[in-house]
Amino acid sequence: MELWDLYDINLKPLGKTWERKKGKNHDIPDGEYHIVCDLLIRHADGDFLLTRRDLNKDIAPGMWEASAGGSALTGETAEEAAYREMLEETGLKADRLEFVGNTVSEWSHSIFFSYVAYVSGDKDAVVLQEGETIEYKWVDLDGFFKFLDEDDALKGHNERYRKYIDTLR
Contact 33, 111 (CB under 8 A): yes
Number of domains in the chain: 1
How many Å separate Cα 141 from the centre of its chain? 19
What domain range includes position 41? 3-168
Mean pLDDT by 10 residues, the chain (169 residues): 94 94 74 95 96 90 90 97 95 95 90 95 94 94 86 72 66
At a CB cut-off of 8 Å and minimum separation 6, what does 73 contact? 2, 3, 4, 81
| CATH classification at residue 33 | 3.90.79.10
Indicate the residue type of 127: V
